[in-house]
Structure 1
Amino acid sequence: MDTAGFGAAFPYFDIISQWVMNVFSGKTSLPEKEAMRKWCAEHMASLHVKRFYDSWLETIRIGLLSGLLPDPARDFSRYWNIISSMVKPAYLATPPAFPEHGMMDSLFDFRIARIRILSGLGNDALGYLLKKGDITDAEYRAALEIDPRQSISVHLPYSQTYL
């Protein structure tokens, strides 16, 4: 079945179903009850607040937290090729060998984003990725020079509320 027409919604549902199956089979555990309570209190306190969920970014977040997507600290290239490519459901199972950019991606500087994401991984992960050949020496040095306040989490956080 051709799922390309589903855009980012299909991968979101796919990753959630894989996560649920892993929870039921014991491969993945749910967060601690207190963490879930805190999240609900913070995000669900007012049901009148309008929320926007970016299904592709949520797919990345849930996929990383559940261990279904490549761990960027161990396999940054595969992680990067997923997050910097067009949204395609097949990329969740097999990341592309090289990023496949979309039509509007020329308006965005992926090099800077890559360094800012790398900078959030920490020195040990950066050293491992450099030794493995997953990042260049220039990327390693640039990531170490980034002000921690400018780092981007591998979970790619975004604001979910709007007026």
Structure 2
Amino acid sequence: FPEGDLLSSLDTVVKTASTLSLRAPVIITPSGSLWTVRSDTQNRPLRESMTVTPDGHVVKQETFAEKGFMDRIIGYGVAAHEGQLFGKMNQTINLLVAMGLLMMSSAATVLWLKRKPEGSLGAPLALPTQTYGLGGIIVLIILALFLPELGISLVVLFLASLIPIKTKP
């Protein structure tokens, strides 16, 4: 676009965009000789995108429902994760989950502090009645392979348990 044409074209596209029922915020970007007008609302299932000519005619419209299957699944997941999918109910569920995780982490820390070996940061010794099932170990190894952060944290915890800690008598 020459500069004068760009500004008049932008003005026309902005006027066209204001007549469309897109959720705010709306982003307008040049795309070759056309313009892209798209909604960037946090609630991803409500996002739409349109291609507009410099004279303000809508050439193409793409709604969330027209996206690919995986794009829609990810969009719903992100909207639910951010608390946008079901409004206040979604935010309340997310708050309850976060509070539950906080309580579980706190309880685990307290239980570990009560049972850890004296003078060590290692894991508490297994009770004589406890046995480690082969199935549980296999599941843990598979999870550690598929979730690299879990695998790395397990290695770090194992190495930390090997460090001798001396306490004052």
Same fold at TM > 0.5: no
| Structure with the largest fraction of strand | 2
Q: Which has the higher contact order (CA 8 A, sep 6+)?
A: 1
Q: What's the TM-score, normalizing by structure 1? A: 0.25
